[in-house]
């Protein structure tokens, strides 16, 4: 269980910011954990702003919604720079589906933390091929706290770290739900990729 650092103190007064990353596969509880942390910050009377990429409209145009229907009001943004303008007065910044943003998210989160804000970023650490996804690896490197959460493998019941794509599309970004992806453990992911006759994790493959 992640214990929030100094959640009850006034962040603005301390001017001490930091970055937390919550990562894992699809269905691993990233959004649930993000909402949990943000709700606790609200209970501590901190000003909270939540952002998500404008392209992620799966459940709701403005809310961040978890697979078990928890939700919190958010602001969709097209590019990370918008967050610098919109997060001016808040103590805590939440970002969901961070993997869909470009690399500039790393600089934006760093700037927000340098300004004394607590920045909590949730996102997929790997894409459907098992490769590091977008800005996530760099965010994990610069974060003070990294939490990797796990789903349950739908094939065998072990802990799952991979998002196995059932749908045939080869686009890197395919917004989808239970009908497009499955949470799988390593052996069951590899088994599925073998069946698809696709090389899963190749160091030669480009991102």
Judged by CB under 6 A, the residue of 11, 20, 27, 126 near ligand ADP is: 27
Of 67 and 186, which CB lies nearer to ligand ADP in the complex structure? Answer: 67
What's the min distance (Å) between Cβ of 6 and Mg ion? 26
List the interface residues with ligand ADP, window 145-204 (CB under 6 A). Answer: 151-152, 154, 183
Q: Which residue has the tokens 């939700």?
A: 71
List the interface residues with ligand ADP, window 62-91 (CB under 6 A). Answer: 66-68
What's the min distance (Å) between Cβ of 136 and Mg ion? 13
Catalytic residues, by residue number, are 97
Quickly list DSSP for 34-54.
HHHHHHHHHHTT--EEEEEET
Q: Select the binding partner of residue 200 from ligand ADP, Mg ion, none (C-beta < 5 to 8 A, by kind).
A: none
Cα–Cα distance for residue pair 91/158, rounded to 1 Å: 38
What's the min distance (Å) between Cβ of 28 and ligand ADP? 4
Of 26 and 38, which CB lies nearer to ligand ADP in the complex structure? Answer: 26
* Residues near Mg ion, by CB under 5 A: 30-31
For 23, phi then psi, to 5°, come to -130, 170
Q: Select the binding partner of residue 68 from Mg ion, ligand ADP, none (C-beta < 5 to 8 A, by kind).
A: ligand ADP
Q: Residue 21 in contact with residue 176, Cβ under 8 Å?
A: no
Q: Give the pairing of strands 145-148 and 18-24.
A: parallel
In the chain, which residue ranges form alpha helices assigned H by DSSP?
Answer: 11-14, 30-43, 81-86, 104-114, 136-142, 186-196
Output DSSP code: residue 15. Answer: T
Of 68 and 203, which CB lies nearer to ligand ADP in the complex structure? Answer: 68
Q: Select the binding partner of residue 95 from ligand ADP, Mg ion, none (C-beta < 5 to 8 A, by kind).
A: none
CA proximity to 163, closest of 185, 148, 147, 179: 185
Q: Which residues bind ligand ADP (CB under 6 A)?
A: 24, 26-32, 66-68, 151-152, 154, 183
């Amino acid at each position: 269980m992640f214990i929030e650092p100094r959640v009850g103190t006034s962040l603005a007064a301390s001017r001490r910011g930091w970055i937390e990353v919550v990562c894992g596969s699809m269905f691993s509880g990233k959004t649930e954990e993000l909402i949990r942390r943000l709700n606790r910050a609200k209970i501590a009377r901190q000003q909270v702003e939540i952002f998500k990429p404008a392209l992620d409209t799966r459940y709701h145009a403005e809310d961040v919604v978890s697979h078990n229907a928890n939700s919190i009001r958010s602001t969709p943004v097209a590019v990370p720079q918008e967050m610098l303008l919109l997060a001016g007065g808040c103590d805590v910044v939440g970002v969901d589906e961070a993997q869909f943003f470009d690399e500039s998210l790393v600089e934006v989160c760093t700037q927000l933390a340098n300004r004394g804000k607590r920045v909590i970023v949730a996102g997929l650490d790997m894409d459907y091929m098992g490769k590091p996804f977008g800005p996530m690896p760099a965010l994990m490197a610069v974060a003070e706290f990294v939490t990797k959460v796990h789903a349950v493998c739908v094939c065998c019941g072990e802990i799952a770290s991979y998002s196995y794509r059932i749908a045939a599309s080869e686009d890197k970004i395919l917004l989808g739900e239970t009908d497009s992806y499955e949470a799988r453990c390593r052996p069951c992911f590899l088994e599925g990729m073998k069946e698809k006759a696709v090389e899963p994790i190749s160091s030669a493959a480009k991102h």
